[in-house]
Structure 1
Amino acid sequence: MAIRVGTVSWTDKTLIDCKRFYPALANNAEKRLKYYASRFPLVEVDSSYYAMPSVSNADLWAQRTPANFQMNIKAFRLMTGHQTPPDLLPPDLLASLPPDTRSKRMVYLSDFPKDLKDEVFKRYLAALTPLRDAGKLGLIHFQFAPWFLRSSRDKAHIAYCVEKMAGCEVSVEFRNNTWLAPEHVDETLAMLRDLGVTHTTVDEPQGFKNSVPAVWAVTNPRRALVRLHGRNYETWDIKGATAASDRFNYDYPQLELEGLAEGIRRLNGEAGDVDVIFNNNHEDQGQRNAQTLMDILGALAVQPSLDFGGEELPF
């Protein structure tokens, strides 16, 4: 049983600009990933939410990281019920859409004929082949839209996602709190267990209409997932944010991390592995907090590998 700790992304603008995490020699994309991977055994790729991933990028990620490194990949926004600008689609897929759909300012997966919907998932999964072949593909993380409801249609969509990601481990995160409300939580967790997917325990501000409660539960005996969004009440419901770091600007104090470590240890007793992802991403908050949590967990935390295939890093 292993606990891997990491952060969302290693390329956030405020992280690079603050110049507190990366040394001066880590001055390009390749060196930053290598430096990050020398500090943490896990990262969540979020660029795959904003655009379809590519085989070439996945191949570079696999080449630039040590053997025990794991990359959790966030599902493309179209796949999780979010509105998507049509120009984010591959040109040939866009050209295959019905004209009335293609001309929309935003499209949804429900606008797609079934064959094109299937093709989106097929291409997404194919792009991750280099990571799968290298044994570095962790969870494929589906963070569903706030308007993704407890309807028969949306429940069927979760099953569809799991089917299309066959052979990979899937994690599910809800942003509509009705899924995990006291009267529905047992049913939701049972559904996830039946599908064999990983429930996501979240830490985030409570008391808002869009707050999701922290439910510390295991639905996949192979792996549990904890995503830490911070507890910034002032920015949680902010309107007009220009970057994710505007919303998730939070620095976890030691005492809160020690409390979270207790829940993480409990999950570790029930699941084969536990992934912990810090999504507080203003400057180097996530990286500092992730290191502190690893220190708190001690021997339970997987340590990063410095074996880059014989290459000596200059850091």
Structure 2
Amino acid sequence: MGGILVGTCSWTDRALVGSGWYPAGRRDAEGRLRYYAERFPVVEVDASYYALPSERNSRLWVERTPDGFVFDVKAFSLLTGHPTRDAAVPGGLPADAGDPAVLDEVWARFRAGIEPLRAAGRLGSVLFQFPPWFRPGTRAEKFLEQCAVRTAGWPVAVEFRHPDWWRGERAEATCALLARYGLAAVAVDMAQTLPASLPPVTPVTSPRLSVVRFHGRSNAWGTGSKEDRFRHDYRREELQEWVPRVRALAERVGPDGQVHVLFNNCCGDSAVRAAGTMAHLLSAGTS
């Protein structure tokens, strides 16, 4: 059975910092990360979606966390086909993913930014979260192939936002596509009452990694403010539903693999509380 690591999708979220979860004396940048890493073995770096990661920060993160702690780094928006501000692109270049020179430079900066994590064995995964309009088809498959080439040697996880990837007979083809390139499929927990709801499938497409992301079960998904979209306090029973699924994923990735269970319901301290409960349920073997 592979290892199961439970954490959250940010340790710097403004709502978390303002919730009082970090005690007095541990609220500066170093103190927050050290405090978080004393309680969880994995965290997702969300800021790298909005701005390219820096080598300096990656080195500091390694220094401030214990051996075995890993970072799942979210891919920069331009690399996943999301709208990107020109100001977020280096060297005054336009945010134009269709320009090979721009794309090459952004990939180079992203690669350099996470290299200290990779070199230290702290890179848990690079998360490619694709937009809702990234739907199955030849063009999308070609894009995934290009990503696989660019990320050769990295642990990569893929989260689709268009539900057609995991519906009906298409799900088998999606598994085969990701497995072809060694990309780990991301399982999702979210509200199941919306047209854009992703089914709670748990495919394993990589022998070394599986990722589950808990987005909360708000019916405001895709609309409203961030707080509206992610506001959800997971009940113990809701988390118990996932315990056998997570343990089954750990069996399927094998003894050298890992399952990362990450909570993205980042409103106040909801995510850290849910992560703590899930870690307890999994360690107790509750099903």
Answer yes or no: is 1:219 the counterpart of 2:205: yes
The whole-number CA distance in structure 2 between the counterparts of 1:176 and 1:27 is 38
Q: Superposition pairs for residues 161-180 of structure 1, below 5 Å?
A: 161-180=147-166
Under a length normalisation based on structure 2, what TM-score does the superposition of the two structures give? 0.95
| The one of 119, 122, 145 aligned to 2:131 | 145
Instruction: Name the SS for the 1:155 alignment partner.
Output: helix
For residues 120 and 237 of structure 1, the distance between their equivalents in structure 2, rounded to whole angstroms, comes to 27
Structure 1 unmatched runs, 5+: 95-101, 301-315
**Alpha carbons of structure 1 residues 299 and 71: separation in structure 2 relative to 1, 3 Å:** farther
CA distance in 2, matches of 1:16, 1:127: 25
Matches within 5 A, 1:1-315: 1-19=2-20, 21-92=21-92, 94=93, 102=94, 107-110=95-98, 112=99, 114-233=100-219, 235-239=220-224, 241=225, 244-271=226-253, 272-298=257-283
Matched-pair contact (CA < 8 Å) for 2:129–2:159: yes
Which whole-Å CA distance do the structure 2 matches of 1:268 and 1:214 have between them? 16
Letter in 1 for 2:110: Y
Which residue does 1:313 correspond to in 2?
none
SS at match of 2:252: coil
Decide whether the 8 Å contact of 2:96 with 2:103 is kept in 1: no
- Residue 91 (structure 1) shift: 2.1
Give me the whole-angstrom Cα distance separating, in 1, the residues matched to 2:154 and 2:227.
29
Higher RCO structure, 1 or 2 (CA under 8 Å, sep 6+)? 1
User: Is the partner of 1:268 in helix, strand or coil?
Assistant: helix
1:270-304 residue CA offsets vs partner (Å, 9 max, x unmatched): 0121110000100001101101111111167xxxx
| Residues 4, 259 of structure 2: 8 Å contact kept | yes
Maintained 8 Å contact 1:82/1:108? no
- Partners of 2:53 and 2:242 lie apart in 1 by 32
Matching residue's letter, 1:166:
A
Task: Decide which structure has the larger Cα Rg and report it.
Answer: 1
Once the two structures are superposed, what CA deviation does each residue of 1:203-233 show, in whole Å capped at 9, x if it has no partner? 0112322211111110001111100001112
Would the aligned equivalents of 2:71 and 2:123 in 1 still touch at CA under 8 Å? yes
Q: Displacement, 1:149?
A: 1.9
Alpha-carbon distance change, 299 to 41 in structure 1, aligned in 2, over 3 angstroms: farther
Contact 1:83–1:108 (CA<8 Å) still a contact in 2?
no
Q: Secondary structure of 1:214's partner?
A: coil
Distance 1:194 1:163 in 2: 12
Deviation (angstroms), 1:118? 2.2
- Give the deviation of 1:236 after TM superposition: 1.7
Q: Deviating runs (4+, > 4 A) in structure 1?
A: none
The percentage of aligned residue pairs carrying the same residue is: 42
Structure-1 separation of matches of 2:277 and 2:96: 40
Distance 1:29 1:142, change over 3 A: same
Q: Is contact 1:193-1:220 (8 Å) kept?
A: yes
Q: 1:32 to 1:56 in 2, by over 3 A?
A: same
Q: Give the match for residue 310 of structure 1.
A: none
- Is this contact kept in 1: 2:90–2:106, CA < 8 A? no
1:118 and 1:150 map into 2 onto residues whose CA distance is: 25
Structure 1: which amino acid aligns with 2:264?
N
Letter of the 1:157 partner, please give it. Answer: F
2:170 and 2:230 map into 1 onto residues whose CA distance is 28
Calculate the TM-score normalised by the size of structure 1.
Answer: 0.86
Cα deviation digits, residues 109-129 of structure 1 (max 9, x gap): 13x2x2332221122011111
User: Does structure 2 conserve the Cα–Cα contact (< 8 Å) formed by 1:142 and 1:171?
Assistant: yes
